Amino acid sequence: MEINMPLLGDKFPEFEVQTTHGKIRLPDNFSGKWFVLFSHPADFTPVCTTEFVAFQKRYNKFKELNCELIGLSVDQVFSHIKWTEWIKENLDTEIEFPIIADTGGVAETLGLIHPGKGMNTVRAVFIVDPKATIRTILYYPQELGRNMDEILRIIKGFQVSDKNNVAIPANWPDNEIIGDEVIIPPATDERTAKERMEKYDCFDWWLCHRKL
């Protein structure tokens, strides 16, 4: 089976999807907002259940970043509704974001089914910006749950990077070298390289950093 998928920097493909909140057009329904589309292998499975609770517990933090969430699996909408009811009744958590009931078209277009890991959708994450450009794609196998705090960190990092024209270091905002500071893009000519050394804190002309 050939896996087709959009790449980083591509526009998110257009779909009309059935969800637990009714029909939604992607990416149009999230125009002007960031959104995270994440797929899960199946409803009523243990790791997926922990993930949905974790996403919901952080939903307000995503919304503070002007970011919406939307889940997806190749399950019928009736299954999604019953599963979210179970989560509310048994785990005291109401899932407030929509879940796509995919017939396979979205999964195929986005490359969410990897035959080497079975025929269920893998744990994919697409982070899409307000201009509908795909900024991050993450894949996890069925047996490994995602870290939602890392997904939040990615969105925060992009927003800081876009606003300030800077790069984000490893483990930001707790980087081992420069803490919560950000990286100045490397110079591309000798004059700028010299100016960078005079203007910013630098380990060398190609590694300069500053506070926000």
Which residues are the active-site residues? 48
Distance of CA 158 to CAs 27, 148, 209, Å? 19, 16, 17
Backbone phi, then psi, for 12, in 5-degree steps?
Answer: -65, 130
Task: Report d(CA 59, CA 68) in Å as an integer.
Answer: 8
Backbone phi, then psi, for 138, in 5-degree steps?
Answer: -125, 145
Number of helical (H) and strand (E) elements in the chain, helices listed first: 6, 10
Task: Report d(CA 91, CA 120) in Å as an integer.
Answer: 25
